[in-house]
Structure 1
Amino acid sequence: MSPRIVKLKVLDARIPTTNSRKMEVLTEYNNRIKGYKGEKSLEFYLDPLIQSKDYHVFHEIRLLSGKYYFQIDFLILCHKFALALEVKKRSRDWYFDEFNQAYLLFDGAKEKIQNPVAQAKLQSKKLKQWLDEHQCEEVPIHYLFVNSHEKSKITCEDGNDQFKNMCNSEALIDKIELIEKFYKEEKLTRQDVRKIKRLLLTKHTPDDPDILKYFNFTPKDLLPGVQCPKCDSLPMKYHYGVWTCLHCKEKSKTAHIKAIEDYFLLIKPSITNSELRHFLQIDSIKSANNILKSLNLPYIGNRKGRVYYRPTTPICKRDHSEIAKWQIKLRSGK
């Protein structure tokens, strides 16, 4: 799941219902989680390629071309070609008219939407340009729109010439085999494929925005406090090392971990004792200090000037060797 989706979910939980833009956050989260689920459901059909040594499958590869980034839902690479997939999971049927316009059908009505075949074609052109910029000019690039909803169907009107670039998920492997049969010989050497694979992984930049800035929020717009792991209420009350939900009376000794991770995701990747106390809604400097020490976060500075930093992996999954490496990097200024 992309960092953007994770941040949207956390942001939605911490924006009060009285905020007029809360629905905007929730709508974007719902749209993106639908897209993620559609891509996730395609993994079943891509599994033969994932298990094969002849294919390399990249999910949500995001690359910079010129001034702008472009992202491909799935990119398939082999010795003969590259294939860009645009994946959509909609519960309505698809309809493409003779002018290559796309519609969703519902109860006899048509809703015009962006053409996913055109989107796939654009992404393939951007990929071609990107590969040319990196001296990989000989890669044949194909594109497909894949409908990943099992109950929706695709209909093309006579005269539409895009039908060859679309399919349902269960027909994806057949489409790929047809493309493969088109080439009588391999276009890329093993060394070429290794070079492209290395380039893609090195240049990939995950979609990880400053989500507060994206929606024009500030930290003051967020609901502070520790969220109840049972009923999601905010805030829980802290007393002698135990968090208690004021709504459902659930008790927890570790509920603050998610709250601190929320802070790192939404506000900034560092935190002080004072900032922790404000965000967790506790008064005691000593209690805040004990919480920070118990998490073994990497830090710089001493006593009042100490600043703790977000680790590279979730707090609950880190080990002491990683913490030691972070300490060395922070103290050396790297």
Structure 2
Amino acid sequence: MYIKPPEIPRHILAAQALDVRTPASHLFKEKIRIRAANLLSGYKGENVMHYQLQFLPEDDFLIFHYIRLSDEYKHFQIDYLLLSRWFYLIIEVKNIYDNISFDDLGQAYRKIDNNVEVFTNPVEQISLQHRRLLSWLSTFDFPSVPIEKIVVYSRDDTYLRNLTNDKNISDIVMHRDKVLSKIDSLIDKHQTARVSKQQLLDLSRHILNEHVPEKMTA
């Protein structure tokens, strides 16, 4: 069941509005245009996940799209957060075309012809989100529940390469079509309920109350 369904965040709408209002002759027009396009592309990738997640048992999962929480290090953002009585799941969504390779130096990059574009390593990114969510939950004395994490590439034409056959990458990184089977395996893995339905609802309300939308820049 969606507690916070997908919708375009206000800061993305603001970035688009700023792009429209900025004349082509402006010194920073290209930078503004690229930022607006990248933000919208990221949202479209996240929105694709809605199709897969709607097939989950409605009574078993509470689903949040775009959660931004405060901690001692300012804020951290989660694309999708799934809560159940048995485990929680963080989903980081990437909308990148062509190919993505993961090497033995912990780098994630795309190579097209002779050009190499390096990206933030999503495995390290989601591991940090995992750490910060654990700390955030403990701050408010919520019961301890296993937290799983996956990185999902939302485009059908993205070719993923795990160059070193790193098991951690194979377990965490996947295409969107694998998400439901992955969640099924997590359901099989976590058979013991850790919280009551009421505790889960209390946590859901708290997350909504603590959500801090990114400020509009326009």
- TM-score in same-fold range (> 0.5): yes
TM-score norm. by structure 1 comes to 0.60
**How far is the alpha carbon of 1:105 from its aligned partner?**
2.8
Is the CA contact 1:86–1:117 (under 8 Å) kept in the aligned structure 2? no
In 2, distance between residues paired with 1:177 and 1:97? 28
Secondary structure of 1:167's partner?
A: strand
CA deviation string 1:250-297 (max 9, x = no partner): xxxxxxxxxxxxxxxx4xxxxxxxxxxxxxxxxxxxxxxxxxxxxxxx
Secondary structure of 1:111's partner?
A: strand
- Paired residue type of 2:80: F
In 1, distance between residues paired with 2:65 and 2:41? 16
Give the equivalent residue in structure 2 for 1:95.
Answer: 101
Give the equivalent residue in structure 1 for 2:163.
Answer: 157
For 1:106, which of 85, 91, 112 is the aligned residue?
Answer: 112
CA deviation string 1:90-134 (max 9, x = no partner): 112111112332111323654221111211111111111110111
Of the two structures, which has the highest relative contact order with CA contacts closer than 8 Å and spacing of 6 or more?
Answer: 2
Give the equivalent residue in structure 2 for 1:174.
Answer: 181
Going by fraction, where is strand more abundant, 1 or 2?
A: 2
The count of corresponding residues between Structure 1 and Structure 2 is 210
Give the equivalent residue in structure 2 for 1:35.
Answer: 42
State yes or no: 1:207 paired with 2:214: yes
After superposition, the CA RMSD in angstroms is 1.5
Is the CA contact 2:143–2:194 (under 8 Å) kept in the aligned structure 1? no
For 1:86, which of 92, 98, 120 is the aligned residue?
Answer: 92
Larger radius of gyration: 1
Give the equivalent residue in structure 2 for 1:8.
Answer: 15
CA deviation string 1:41-94 (max 9, x = no partner): 111111112x61110110001111124111100011111111111100111211
TM-score norm. by structure 2 comes to 0.91
Q: Which runs of 5+ in 2 are unaligned?
A: 1-7
Give the equivalent residue in structure 2 for 1:324.
Answer: none
Secondary structure of 2:19's partner?
A: helix
- Paired residue type of 1:59: H
In 2, distance between residues paired with 1:118 and 1:164? 13
**How far is the alpha carbon of 1:146 from its aligned partner?**
0.3
Is the CA contact 1:58–1:75 (under 8 Å) kept in the aligned structure 2? yes
> Superposition pairs for residues 141-156 of structure 1, below 5 Å?
141-156=147-162
Give the equivalent residue in structure 2 for 1:17.
Answer: 24
The percent identity for this pair of structures is 28
Is the CA contact 2:88–2:147 (under 8 Å) kept in the aligned structure 1? yes
In 1, distance between residues paired with 2:19 and 2:43? 18
Is the CA contact 1:86–1:145 (under 8 Å) kept in the aligned structure 2? yes
- Paired residue type of 1:180: I
In 2, distance between residues paired with 1:67 and 1:174? 34
Secondary structure of 2:54's partner?
A: helix
Give the equivalent residue in structure 2 for 1:296.
Answer: none
Q: Which runs of 5+ in 1 are unaligned?
A: 212-265, 267-334
Secondary structure of 1:187's partner?
A: coil
Is the CA contact 1:12–1:25 (under 8 Å) kept in the aligned structure 2? yes
> Superposition pairs for residues 191-270 of structure 1, below 5 Å?
191-209=198-216, 211=217, 266=218
The 4+ residue runs of structure 1 with deviation greater than 3 A are: none
In 2, distance between residues paired with 1:44 and 1:172? 11
**How far is the alpha carbon of 1:20 from its aligned partner?**
0.2
